[in-house]
Structure formats: C-alpha cells, structure tokens
Amino acid sequence: MNYFLKRTIILFLSGLVLVACSSDKKRNADFLPPISIQIPDEIKGETELVKVINSSEKAINELSDNLEQLIVDSKEVLDKKEEEERSLMDNLKVGKLMVEFVSNSSELGELIDDFDNYKKEQEAQGLINDAQVKALEKVGDSFEKRMQQINKKYEHYYN
C-alpha cells in the first residue's frame, strides 16, 4: 500500500508539473471579452508608464480568463456541498485546478511589483503628475470593473 501511495503521489505531481508548464491553451470564446485600457495622449511619450499600463492590461485579461476557467472547471466538484461527498479524485482535481490557477496567474504578482515600484519611484522623486495618477487609476478601475463583471456573470452559476 505504501509503495502504491508513493507512486500515485509521484505520478500526480509529475502530471501537475506538465499541466502547469504547458502554455498552448486557447482562449474560450464564452469568456468575457478582453479589456482595453486607453492610454491618455498626455502620457503616451512616457514609455515606462505606458509599459506598466500595457502589462497591467495583459495581466488583468489573463487573470480574468484564469478565474473563468477555474470557475468552469471546478463546477462539477464544487457542486458537492459537503466535503464528505467528495472522493479522493475530486479532492485531487481541486488541488490540480488550484495549482493550474496559481501557475497561470503568476504574472499578476510581477505586475503588482512593477506597478508598486513604478509608483513609489515616481512619488519618491516627486515626478508623478495628475495625468500619471489618473492613468494609474484607470488600471485599478479596470481591474475592479472586470472583477464585478465576473461576479455578475457567475453569481448564479453554482445554484
């Protein structure tokens, strides 16, 4: 039994690594359309800020797709309200889905670091102006709007 359990765990972890490292996923047509953050004319010449905004847009879209994929993939397992109703395979599927989600959403952590570093550097040097602040606020507003859209789209999904 011990040998079987070790072998199963090794195979499971190997499978998780393979799934997490694969990047040939196509976007699901049923997902919310990608957001687009408009860059104001006043800051188009500021390449670092434009880069931060563009990478933020990409990361928000990827996080949105990953959340929707997690919701769709986990419905079957999470419909089982009681943990006792879930089999070992159901629990392994939940673990796999969480690993995939974290792996696919890793760019968000980098985005948050870049975003914070840019803002802190600009504030420390006294270089941030109203146009830059408004542009950075658009990123936060876009993120908040997307999370509201996801919540609204899936609010009755598990009922």
The number of residues making up the chain comes to: 159
pLDDT digits (tens, 9 = 90+) for 53-95: 888 898 889 888 888 888 888 877 767 666 666 777 777 887 8
* Maximum mean pLDDT: which of 9-13, 79-83, 127-131: 127-131
- Which pLDDT band holds residue 48 (cuts at 50, 70, 90)? confident
CA distance 65 to 150: 10
- Which pLDDT band holds residue 134 (cuts at 50, 70, 90)? confident
pLDDT digits (tens, 9 = 90+) for 16-30: 555 555 555 567 888
What is the predicted pLDDT for the residue at 49? 86
**Secondary structure, 3-state, the chain:** CHHHHHHHHHHHHHHHHHHHHCCCCCCCCCCCCCCCCCCCHHHCCCHHHHHHHHHHHHHHHHHHHHHHHHHHHHHHHHCCCCHHHCCHHHHHHHHHHHHHHHHHCHHHHHHHHHHHHHHHHHHHCCCCCHHHHHHHHHHHHHHHHHHHHHHHHHCCCCC
